[in-house]
Each structure stands twice: as structure tokens, then as C-alpha cells.
Chain A
């Protein structure tokens, strides 16, 4: 920490005020003019123990847990733009851990348990809201899948319930459960501990807490090359010059293929656009997350009052952060099938992100063929919910050089052995 306060770009004397109602009140008296930057605007130094490429939620969380759990603070997060504006800042923030396979359940449950204390841990309100995630079943196959999932989750120690059609109605009264609609609701599964969070706050909160522990968060610092010597990574070439690194972690989501290629690694990842949209804000009308695979749409309401709506990926691959309009049209038809009362609501904003999809729709977290180079990617359409868990296991992996038991099954090598964790088969809309 010696070099900490001597750091370039560090403005004035640092007093990281704890955020609280009291500090808010105190600052009100000084017209809020005494607040310090949430995180230091660091310029990269020559060398770090660990360099993390990608300042999304996962990269920032990794840095935070490296510092907090493993005491490794000589760490830089290199982000080519401003932090948190990739998928972290574009996603629909559904958080749940009701995954079918044991390996996934353990990973996402680790994340969920961290979510449950995250605001307090980071001293930044991530607005994690456990309002319940309801997955609807519309046919025999859905019910079978739902029942299977509920049974498995119970045995994995994770909360999950099967709801009948009437229980669905009782839990979310505005769903149209009439039997004569195109795809009537047969029932559904509910994870009450699931919900949503404020995406930006997750990025900023991790950044602030990591920065406070000495991590350098270097924005507008694009990694352009990965330097290796004798099969081992030694540093990264960036838009701000060469940076030496003991270990390097790639956490670049939709651009993972591009960054891995800098180390001559070809990943089994396809990048697809995934779109989402919000309505104009309205007073509270839906108090949980509702998802449907068969009708292919999901919806929740943000704390601001907007309905947040999404569905599946655009079928083609792309790096342009926008999708095709017909995908939106289709998901609106689906939405009105479940919620005819939303017909006169209006779409306010639509956007897209680029998601990194693996053949089995599960992430890759672990070693690469290059020594000291690690990767955390392939979260596809559903990695936001994993953010703290992903950072936690990846920090362990970077710190010890070995995967944690939780992420060991998610090795890149599984695409050679065939030990896939196929969440595709388990759910078509996997957010």
C-alpha cells in the first residue's frame, strides 16, 4: 500500500467516506461538495502481480475478491472504455440460482449467497431485490422439465417450488391464465430468493470497493496484445503502453474470442447480439420476474418503474451492439400473450449487447493452454447473476493458479473430454 497515496491521478487526500444515511446527511450540510470520487481514476503502472482484462462486473468482482479474500492488491483492471458499459450495463439483471445441473447449481448458488450480503459488503447499495423469479410452464414438456428442476434443486439445497396454475395466478395476478389462450399456463416454478439488482451499481460498487483496497482501475486502456515467453504470459500490450504482469485474466465477455486470439487461443465461443427493451415508467404493476420459455419472453419491473423485457439471442453472430427489429416484434407478441393488459404500454428504449455463447451454454472459468493466462467467459445470456460468484472463484483461480472446486468443472478442457454441462437442453431462454 506504500505507493498507494503517491499514485498518479490520485486527487488530493483520500478519505473514503463510508456511505450511509448519516454520511449523506452530513454531506447535505456541505452541499454534497465533499464527496470523493467513487473509485480512483488510475493510470496504469509498469507492472502488476495480476492484470485483469475487462472492466465489466466480472472483472471488477475478480479484482475485489483478489484483494479482499487473497490479499493480492497489486492488481490492475484494464478496461478499454469506461467500466461497466458492456453487458454488465446492458443486461436485464435477473438473478437466480435455480439451475438444473449440480455444477451450475453450485456455481450460481455461490453467487446468490454472495448477492445476499453484497450491498453491505461493498458498502454500495446494489439494490438487490429478492422479489422472486417465476418460470412458467405451458405444456407437458415444460412441466416435466420444471418438476425435474424443482426436485433437483431441493436435493441440492436450493429453494424452489412448483406452482400450480392457480398458485401462479395468486403469486402474479396479472398473468393471463385463461385456458383458451394460445399457450395456456399449466404451472410454473418459483425461486423466491431470486430477483433482480441494479446493474450499474454492481459495477460501480465493486470498482469502489476494489479501488479502496488498492486495485488500479484503468479506464480507456485497451489491451491490444498478450506477450508470452516460453509458453508463459509475461505482460500485455495496451493503448497506454506495455504492462508487465505475473498473471493475466481475460474477462471480456462478448469480445473473449478476440482477446483470446491475441494469445493464439481459439475459443469454442460464438458472439451473438442479445436485445432488451424497457417501457415507460409506471407505478408498481408487477412485483416479480416472470419468464416463459415456450412463449419466449421475460419481464420484470425496475425500481424506476420501467418494465424490463427480453427474450432470446439474435440468431446470427455479430460484434455490433444492436440487433434486428423483428426480434423485438416477436417478443412483444409473446409478452401480450401473457399480459394482455400491457398492450397500451409503450416501448421507451431498445438496445443490444454481445453475448459469448459456448456450445453447452455454460461458462468457461479456468486455465488456458498458456501458463499464467486464465480466462473467464462464455456466460452468454445469463452471467450477470453470477457476477459475485464468478469473481470469487476466478480470484481463487488467479491467486492459487488452480480452479476452486466450484469452477473446476467449467474448465476449457471439457470441450475436449466431452464433459459438457449442457444448460441449452435445460432451458431455451437462459437468463
Chain B
């Protein structure tokens, strides 16, 4: 396939290797080493997409990550990606790309009618209209805006790729592999420092890849190859290409995103992680991130074929692709001359270099003359011919001063491309993210790093040093200094290579090029932000309406907020704003540079923490056994807890009833291993616990346990559990399953910040123990078969704790009960848990021993009126509210929450208190969460329905737990009710969507109120 815009030779593409790809369904050929943009250009394709608002035809502006215009949708299905910048998409076999934001095609786009309305669609127009009729906003206007907005399409299928993360530490991190970065890396590595060198491109060399510079008299790329070989041979150096440093955070913590397979044919990557997030901590950082060329803002500067001069040069030199056969060059500085020369040498005609300045830099005119390129000094492009492709440039000469023209009529220069340069903006993004302060360099017309905030240096173009010699020298010095600061003084000073130096020259600060009619008049548009369709007229409008602060300007016009984050537009907008304000750019300041430097896929950010690794799944040692028994599981915190064990064909209700009956009538076993467990040791352990829990432990004997509450400073219940004393100054605590980590953190927090003088040591032992809760009238009989320890009531009373041997295992037995039945919790080291478990089941076989899950446990405890933290409590419930006032010590001088109980509101007697509820109709199970009101025959309450009530109705409480009780053969519920403890026997009602349910308030204990069973 012919590539009509290929140069005859040269470039870093492999002309022997064709690569075929499709764009908008048409097949094209490029070469290995091409990007999608260079391959399109080689084929003469400039029209790539349509703009955001006006659907103007758009081409390729740049040759790098700053690209605002040439965005494409790459691939399809589970591999598709929107908004990919064509200049950084490396070409691979069978690549398939399509234009975005155009229908039916990029050539003929219906959306272009918006262009006709462009006089209405000015900056912020939507704030002024679409307000009436009111109902149209949601139905007509907003859907219209939403459909119009957005560029590419989000994937609609799951991702087929995987992602991962790496942590790395180094002495010196060098960001950018151009001349300055290479010099820095070389110097740092030569000192023996551990160096990481990162570059976003596929190969090292940076700007040298596009130029024809000489270093030490040889082609610059030979120098690059030499340094690269030297670095590769050094085991302390890691080079990451195709990797973008995207974020610079505090303490030299940097984030980089590496693209590992994106340059390969799709699915060729196999199981290789597609992208990798690097989290790097560096002692010193050297930023050598280069600079971005700025467009010139002139009439219709967005036409396909108008592009940055350095990009045109890159396409010619690096990729062997000509951006046009006839290229007009338009500039306000010297750098574009090199582009003109190289384009000419590569085979393009250069009808003229139009220079806004009266005079070009030294020697340039002569070189132009030698190459036969006319230069129009003090000239301006005032208009562009062609819409889908540049067809000509209208040029006028400027008068000596100001905005006036020297000519009366523009001259038309026929051309198929315009290469422009409005000067250079150092890539100060990372520097700025690191909180470094910028300074505006008036002579170079750009922001440069001023005061660094971290251990960091900026070198080369990102430091405003645009000359090669300076880049090399700065890099070498900064690399050596960084290594030295990291503890690696240089052994010998490296000699800076000699580069043929081209002076940067002068630049004329022209923020908006004068045109035939003032901006905002006439048809022509002067684009500042290409992607968001922000024109000079929009900036002027924002200024006029008072949105003069850069942040207001940015937000009002959306300038700089597109996918390129203003890399090519911000400074032009600031410059133009400054001319309107009549102030200098430094007085205005810049907008904040926010991470990431270039967008990062969500997949990379999530890494492996997706799917079942989204959050660790915690299993007890008995998990496999539960699975084998057909258990269903419930998520409790990170734990998978056995919920219930349905037999084949059994409903949840039937299974839970069966499990409950087993516990009430014979014996059941619950896997209680997930409860949080904390080992507390130290001479001040009692003091510590007395300060934290509401009850007192000074008199707790060794071998005894107590149920206890933890409250927050405001007196509200936070967690509960058992406190068992297992030695003179050693305790074993349990917490709720979900609260374990929080409670330990909280205890440590108090210990370390409030009471550092206490000698107490806390250790989480949650996962060190397996705990089997054996509950039911036959619990003792089962365990007696497994241990010699006396379990009778006198030898092992309720709330006793003993070390014992159970089933031949060293165990600790707690006689505690959460079901209201006789119950023993047997704890053994985790790895022996399964053995214990199986022994218990073997011993219990004759009693029909039954595993029970969390659901049955919930029912059983509710029958007993035992609370579950988080269900009966919600951070607004005190121990007194729960009827546990007796557990709040009156004698202890202090404990967390104590002060709260004397506060007016906490001491009120009509607070919401825990009660039982019995529905009038015993078969009716109240829904949990149902709100409670006083009995009323207001039809709004009694008739049900889902719609909100016409006026608020006072609520007196809500149902916290509600079950069918198999033991009682009726429904039961727990609730928090205002003044509830004094209202036992009264009737209230739950107004449900299905109608009101009447119920009677009772005490919260429905079963064995005297506690004979647990005590027996």
C-alpha cells in the first residue's frame, strides 16, 4: 500500500516491516516504529476527529502526550478505550481506531450544525439559559447537553487485561530520558547511587529523537546509545521506558504508570499485566521532563493541517512522515526555523516562514535563503483556507507597533499544512505538583521552576534551559549533586559533552494574533483550548463578565479542563487574560497543576485489588468443613461466616428453625473463631481496662470472665465482648467480629497518646485461636467425653474460664453463653481447630449434634434479649438505654464516656430504650428497620403505600431485630422506643407500606428470663 506522504528515507521506523491497521474501517499501512498519528500522516490523513462543542473538523496538533485534538476510540468490546491520543499510540498489527464525537462519520458529521449556533454557544451559555420552562431541564435540555458532551465511549464489557503494582526505592530518580535526564542519570549512576530513569516514550533520547543535533561531533543519537549501554550495564540502574511519572506527592513519593503491552498486537500479551503502577520513594529527584510547544492563537488555527512546528519536524525526522507537501511556517520565535529547514530537506516545499517578529535570530535568514525559503518578517497569518484540510494561509504584514496591519489586503499562500510555534512551556507539572513555586520568565515567555519544596532539581527544557549544551551541563551537575546528597559523592567529575549550541533567541509575546476582524466578530474562531473549543472570544467574554481570576476563567470557559489538562492552552489563555487585565502574567499566576500528568487507567490504580481480591476474604480454619456441609456464608467485616446450613431442599427458614431447635433441645456448635480477640498484658492491665470499659475489673478473679461494654467519649456503646482474667496481670478480651481492628486501634490510640505511662501490651490474637461454641442442654455431655476437666456446675460455674485438655489438645474453655443455653466456648490454637471441631462432632453424634450458623445465633440471642452492637446500637445508644446501667460503674473515678452520663441529654429518662415487641397477630414478623408511632387511626398511617406522607409524623422508635421464634412459636422483635422501659404493656404501632401493625411493648427477654438454662 502506498504511503504518499512518506519521506524518501530516514527516521526511526523500520521500512522493511509494514504494519497494517484500520482507521474508520479503512485499511492503511504504516511501519514498525510508527505511531498511529505518524502512520495517518504518512497516508495523508489529517481529519481525525470532531471537536467537543462545535464539531469542527480536527486533525493532529502535536507529536506527544499534550495532544488535544487527535483523540480516537481504540479497539472494541472488552479491549476498547476512548480518547486515546493518536500521537502516543504505537502502531501494532491490526490496530483498529475510529473517530469520536462524529455521526454518521467524521467526514459528514450532523453535529456540525452546532457550529451554526456557535454564536449562541459561547462560554458559559448554559448558565444563562435552559431555565424555562422548568420541567424542560431534565427532559429536554440536559439530555441534549449530556448527549452532546463526552468524547469517546466508555467500554461496556469487563476488561480482559490485568494490572499490577510495584514498589521501588532509589537514591536518585530521574524523570525524563532526553539529553538533560540522560546526563543526570549518567552522573548519578557513576557515583554509585541507585538510579531509576523513567521516560514516557518507547525509547530514550527525548527531543534528540526528533532533531539532527551533534554531540561531541557525532550524531546525538550515538551519544544516547552510548549512555544507554553504560546505564544498562550498571546493576544499580533501572530504566523504565513507556512509563509516565504521573504524580509527585509529599516526601519524594512519586507514582508512575508503565504501559507494558499496549504497543503489542492485542491479545499477544498473554498473561502479562498490561499496565503497572510504580510507587517510588526517592531520596533525590531530578526532573528533566522537557517542554511543550505552544500553538499560536490566530483565526481558524484549528483546521486539520495546522500543527505545532516541532511536531511537524518530529514527524519528518523521527517517523519519516511529511505533514504536507507545502508547509507554511508561522512563528514568534527561532525554534520553528529548524522545523522549516528540516521539512524542506525532507522534501516539503516551504512557501514562507511567517515571523511575527521584525527580526529572526542570527544566521537563520541566511540559512533560509540558502534553502530557498522566503521569510515574511513582522507577518501574521490572519486566516486559513479549507475546512477539513488546510488549503491556504492568508498573510498580512503588521505595522511597526500594535495591532495594526501594514498591508490592506491579505496575500494568500497556497499550502496544505501550517506549522506554528508560539514559544515553549516547560513541563513544570511535576515540579508544581511537588508544591514547588514557579516564576514567569519574561524573556523566554514561560513559567519556570523557582523555589523547590522537596529534595529535587529541575534540569534542561523543563527548567527553561532550551539549549542543548545547557541541558547536558545542568543534567550532569544535578545528577552528581543528587547522588552526593543521597550519600554518594562523585569520584571524578564527568566532563560535559560538547554540543553545537543554538541560542534560544528572542520571542515575541503574541497571545492572540491580530486578525481582520476583532475576536468574536465574524465567522473565524481563534482557538486557545482546542479540545474544549475555547476561543479567545470566550476568554474575553469571561473577563468581561468578571470571571477574571484564573480559576474562575478556567471553570467558566472550561479552558484547560479537557483530557490534555491545558498543556497547550493554559499559558496562551493566561497571556491573553493578562493583556485584557493590563497586568503582567506573574500577577495573575497559574492554575493549579493537578495529578495525574497524563490520565491513568482505573485498572492500573486498582492493580490486583479487584474481583475477589478487592478486599481480603478471611476464613476460619473450619471454613472448608462449612463448605462441605453446604453452608451459605455471610459477610461480616472481611470474614466469611457460616450463615446457615440448609439440607438439600430445605428453605432458609426451615434450616434456621432446625438449627435453633437443636440448640434449645440438644446441642449445636457455632464457629465463633471470627470474634476479635486481644491479649492484654502488663502490670497496669487492670488500670487500663478500668479506664476503657464501663465496668470495673479490680475484683475480677483469675479464671473468671465478665461481659463488658466499651463506650465512646460521648457515652455511646461502641463495642462489647468478654473480658476474662487469665493471670494476675493478663487478660483475654473478645470484641465483635466487625469491630476487632477498630477496637484494637482505639485501645492503642489511648495507650499511646493519653496514657503512655501505663505498662500495658496489646496483641491481636484473633487469628491465633479457633473457637467452637458448644451450646445446648447436651453441651456438657458432649464435652465430658473429650476432657478430664470437671464441667459440673460447682467445679465449672457460669462465667468461669479454665485451661484444659480437650480431645488431646491444649485448650481454654470459657463457660459463657450468647444463646441462653448451657454453653462452653472451647478455644485451641488455630492450626488444631479442625481437629477439635471434628472431635466435638464425633462426640456429639449420639446427641444429634448440629452445626448452627449466624442466623440461628441471631434468633437465639434475640429470644434472650441479648444485643448485637450495630443492630441494637447505632452510636446513639448508652448502656442505660439498653437496660445495662448496672454495668456502668458508679465508683470508678474515671473511664471513657463517664462524663457523658451526667450531661443533660444523656441523662434524660425518656431516651429511646431497648424493649421487646410482640405483634398483636403472632404470625406477623415485623420488618427490621420499621419505624414505630403511637397508635392512631389516621388513614395516612394505617392504609400503607410507598409514597411519602403528606406531613411528618412523630416517630417514637424503630425495630432493631425481628424474627420468627421457633422456640416460642411466634414472632418476636427488639426495638428502641422513647421512654420504652416505662411503657411495658402499652400498645404502639408500626405503620408499614402494607398497612399498620399493632404491637405491645414488653421487656426485651422473651425466654428463660431467670437465666436458669445458661446457669444450669
Contact = CB atoms under 8 A, between A and B. Distances in A.
Among A117, A350, A418, the most chain B Cβ lie within 10 Å of the Cβ of A418
B614 interface: yes
A19 B871 contact: no
A89 interface: yes
Contact of B876 (A149, A301, A335, A420): A420
B132 A343 contact: no
A297 B249 CA distance: 22
B634 A20 contact: no
A265 interface: no
B936 to A, nearest CB: 11
Contacts of A359: 713-714
A337 B82 CA distance: 21
Contact of A426 (B520, B609, B874): B874
Contact of B949 (A31, A39, A157, A161): A157
Interface in A18-69: 19-21, 23-25, 28, 31-33, 35-39, 41
B545 interface: yes
A38 B545 contact: yes
A341 B158 contact: yes
Contacts of B1016: none
A155 B545 contact: no
Interface in B587-637: 592, 594-596, 599-603, 605-607, 609-615, 617, 634-636
A182 B617 contact: yes
B909 interface: no
A281 B149 contact: yes
Interface string A396-426: 0000000000000000001011111010111
Interface stretch (B138-146, B283-291, B766-774, B998-1006): B138-146
Nearest to B247: A325
A362 to B, nearest CB: 12
A37 B546 contact: yes
Contact of B610 (A120, A340, A349, A419): A340
Given A38-B545, A120-B134, A422-B875, A24 B151 contact: no
A162 B936 CA distance: 25
Interface in A90-141: 102, 105-106, 117, 119-120, 123-125, 127-131, 138-141
Given A31-B520, A125-B127, A336 B610 contact: yes
Interface string A329-365: 1101111110011111111111100000001100000
Given A147-B928, A337-B610, A304 B558 contact: yes
Given A23-B128, A125-B126, A182-B615, A154 B993 contact: yes
Given A154-B993, A155-B955, A157-B949, A418 B905 contact: yes
Q: How large is the interface on B (under 10, 10 to 19, 20 to 34, 35 or more residues)?
A: 35 or more
A304 B122 contact: no
Interface in B109-127: 119-120, 122, 125-127
A204 B553 CA distance: 12
Given A123-B131, A144-B928, A348 B152 contact: no
A181 interface: yes
A343 B546 contact: no
Interface SS of B by simple majority: loop
Contact of B159 (A144, A159, A282, A340): A340
Contacts of B600: 346-347
A329 B609 contact: yes
A284 B520 contact: no
Contact of B129 (A21, A155, A182, A200): A21
B154 A341 contact: yes
Nearest to A117: B134
A260 B777 CA distance: 63
Contacts of B930: 147-148, 151
Contacts of B151: 280-283, 305
A81 B592 CA distance: 14
A305 B150 contact: yes
Contact of A336 (B255, B561, B603, B874): B603
Contacts of B555: 89, 200
Contacts of A153: 948
Among A120, A150, A305, A343, the most chain B Cβ lie within 10 Å of the Cβ of A343
B744 to A, nearest CB: 15
Contacts of B544: 32-33, 35, 37
A154 B929 contact: no
B958 A35 contact: no
B229 interface: no
B556 interface: yes
B80 interface: yes
A160 interface: yes
B602 A342 contact: yes
A38 B541 CA distance: 11
Contacts of A284: 146-147, 150
A376 B635 CA distance: 40
Contacts of B876: 420, 422, 425
Contacts of A343: 155, 158-159, 161, 163, 601-603, 606, 610
Contact of A342 (B119, B138, B154, B874): B154
A155 B562 CA distance: 45
B605 A329 contact: yes
B950 A125 contact: no
Given A138-B635, A333-B606, A348-B599, A204 B153 contact: no
A208 to B, nearest CB: 9
A158 B948 contact: yes
Given A31-B521, A201-B127, A348-B599, A328 B605 contact: yes
A85 interface: yes
B552 interface: yes
B568 interface: no
B952 interface: yes
Given A31-B521, A341-B155, A144 B602 contact: no
B931 interface: yes
B1007 interface: no
B953 interface: yes
Contacts of B142: 127, 129, 303
A422 B82 contact: no
B370 interface: no
B249 A349 contact: no
A171 interface: no
B385 interface: no
Contacts of A182: 611-615, 617
A183 interface: yes
B456 interface: no
A24 B120 CA distance: 7
A417 B83 contact: no
A347 B714 contact: no
A322 to B, nearest CB: 8
A36 B714 contact: no
Nearest to B142: A129
Interface string A194-238: 000010110011000000000000010000000000000000000
A426 B599 CA distance: 35
B951 interface: yes
22 contacts: A32-B520, A35-B544, A36-B545, A41-B546, A125-B130, A147-B930, A148-B929, A148-B930, A152-B958, A156-B953, A182-B613, A281-B150, A281-B562, A283-B149, A305-B149, A336-B602, A341-B154, A343-B155, A343-B163, A343-B602, A416-B904, A418-B904
Given A157-B950, A281-B83, A349-B596, 5 more contacts: A31-B518, A102-B955, A155-B931, A200-B555, A334-B614
Interface of B: 79-83, 119-120, 122, 125-132, 134, 137-138, 142, 145-147, 149-159, 161, 163, 247, 249, 253, 255, 277, 279, 518, 520-521, 537, 541, 544-547, 549, 551-552, 555-556, 558, 561-563, 565, 592, 594-596, 599-603, 605-607, 609-615, 617, 634-636, 713-716, 870-871, 873-876, 900, 903-906, 927-931, 933, 946-953, 955, 958, 960, 991-993
Q: Which 8 A-B pairs have the closest CB atoms?
A: A305-B150, A425-B875, A147-B929, A37-B546, A148-B929, A343-B159, A346-B599, A418-B903
